[in-house]
Amino acid sequence: MPSAIRRLPDFSSVEPSELAGSLKDMIADLQAQIDKLVEIESPDWNNFVEPLTTHMDALGRLWSPVSHLNAVMNSEELRDAYNNGLQTLQSFYTDLGQNSKLYQQYLKIQVPEVYKTLNGEQQTVIDHAVRDFKLSGVGLEGEAKARYKEISLRQSELGSKFQDNVLDATNAWQTNLNNESDLAGLPEHSKAMLAQAAEAKDLSGWLVTLEQPSYIAVMTYADDRELRRNTYLAFCTRASDQGPNAGEWDNSPVIDEILQLRGEKAQLLGFSTYADLSLATKMADSPLQVTDFLRKLADRSKTMATAELAELQQFATEQGLEGELQAWDAGYYAEKLREQKHNFSSEELKPYFPAARAVEGLFAVSARLFGIQIEKVQDAQTYHDDVELFRILDEQGQEQGLFYLDMYARANKRSGAWMAGCVDRSATTNEIQLPVAFLTCNLTPPIGDEPALFNHDEVITLFHEFGHGLHHMLTRVDAGAISGINGVEWDAVELPSQFLENWCWQRESLDLIAAHHETGALIPNDLLERAQAARNFGAGMQMVRQLEFSLFDINIHNSTTDVDVQEELNAVRAEVSVLNPPAENRFQHGFMHIFAGGYGAGYFSYKWAEVLSADAFSRFEEEGIFSAEAGAHFKLAVLEKGGSRPAMQNFVDFRGRQPDIDALLRHNGLAA
């Protein structure tokens, strides 16, 4: 049996000043190896694909901790080194994708007499490689080939610039409050969090920032409408030509150039639009299929959303609001209305979700579902005191993967939550390289000596990202190019993450996740029933909000001419939204998913995969939420398969049929 090898990053060795040299040396060595590999007369898996994969993997392992630290421990020195390194890498990868000699070697392996000697996973790797060479412009010549490289380098630069602008704009705004009356309505725990933020910057009173826990606390609970308005406007105008820092980190020209270059690249490759290019590696067949899917959901949702908004407006008026409900009022009055209708406030659950219990419960749920065990790695080297390293053991007690858990919001850390691969699983005759993941959130941090207490949405976020992590770490695929989430169609990659969220709502699983931080008591039946009854409160408005983002994304990428981004967003809002934001709102300037992540012309993936995840969970509703048989089958059919076969085949294997949208509608209260 091959030995299992851990390859963990050495964060202490990431020296920004030395990065350029290390990267240059590794790429030079790698290029020398490639030059040898392209000369092999009869390439096959063992003499060509496997050694190339090994060399490429080493480059990925050098870069992944650098990329991660730039996102979670950002500094000026690291940012400069990262951006310079990104250009070096992009240049190398673009040349690699256009290396015709390398491409010819894959074509030689794809001929029937060689291809038939490969196993199914290996054949998939070859097929994906040939496809990706074509999508990387290997068939381009002369000026077109040179232009493709220029575009790729500039795209890399712009994506990083977009992200840097959002981070700088987020860090730049704060409001220091010195009268406790200004914080009326905020729970004590939230006020303590803001006081701790002020103390950390040697300020008196309370500090409101645009970090997620702070922003959400103000928008949900602050009685002071002017505070809500100012905080909202600062957040929704980040990195734009509007708001308190107007023009300082403006992403307007960045967005326009990103879209122009994406369209140009698509046309160079023979596609009408960037949306067509993006869908070449997704489950969805065409932009029309995507927009039809989204509009059908909108048809099912907008009537309910309109009724919800009317009810919210009436309630706010009864509470003393003069005039129309504004964007900075919606969260505040929605929380109060939910409390009135369902006798439930989200704050009631918070004492039951101390961080340690939530994490232990997450691991316990995963253990019961998939037969794994999760243990903390003691004395592990990490990059911040908040970060812990864990390992996953399979049914036989063998180590199967590891992950770094970085849960809390802090300054100089990119907003949002995400899973990123640190090391990919791969296997040769002699060794198995264990997969390693980065799991990153921006949850409410501990306050003083008190434990961190999460709200229910934060627990759901934790489960969501861990679902991605399990997809990366539980894979049994030996070829790194299609192990874990590699090679998985982008509109299916959210299946495991959204699937795992369902266990945040069930009594049997909540008894593992939740216990009062002072008494250890489980969530009382009455409280849980009220929380479950309130689950779909505002579901229509939430649905059309996500559809707004998805339609906007696919529309701006499905044009053959220049797009007025604000005009397109306004048009989508007129079509599907019910509560329109103020004119100065520049949501798109902080939309990192599509402009600095992998979701360009793919944001619809969240709803597409939600159909799959809701339907997959419906099997557990039928058989029991901890059905050992269903859990083992999901692990085998989906989590272990990676990108080794089409996602639809994985789903049909698990469910025994094609996906049905009914479960999604039912879970969102839209079935009627």
Beta strands 3-5; 431-433: pairing state = parallel
In this structure, the strands spanning 388-393 and 373-376 are antiparallel
Burial class (CB in 10 A: 0-12, 13-18, 19+), 332: buried
Exposed e or buried b per residue across 202-222, where buried means at least 16 C-beta atoms within 10 angstroms of its C-beta:
eeeebbbbbbbbbbbbbbbbb
Q: Is 393 helix (H, G, I), strand (E, B) or coil?
A: strand
Write down the catalytic residue from 211, 308, 347, 465: 465
Q: What is the DSSP string of 629-645?
A: HHHHHHIIIIITTTTSS
Question: Cα torsion at 245, 246, 248, 249 (round to 10°)?
Answer: 100
The answer to whether residues 125 and 424 touch, using CB atoms and an 8 Å cutoff, is: no
d(CA 537, CA 66): 42
Q: Tokens for 253?
A: 């020209």
Distance of CA 274 to the CA centre of its chain: 21
Tokens 């099997």 -> residue: 619
- Calculate the CA 568 to chain-centre distance: 24
**Residue 318: Cβ-neighbour burial (10 angstroms; 0-12, 13-18, 19+):** exposed
3 state DSSP class of 489: coil
Instruction: Give the 3-state secondary structure percentages of the chain, helix then strand then coil, rounded to 5.
Output: 60, 10, 30
Sheet of 3-5, strand order: 3-5, 431-433, 426-427
Instruction: Specify the amino acid at residue 603.
Output: Y
Answer whether 16's CB lies under 8 Å from 81's CB. Answer: yes
Phi, then psi, of 437 in degrees rounded to 5? -125, 150
The H-or-E segment that residue 464 falls in is: helix 456-473
> CB burial class (10 A; 0-12, 13-18, 19+) of residue 358?
buried
* Catalytic (active site) residue 465: yes
Q: Which residues are catalytic?
A: 465
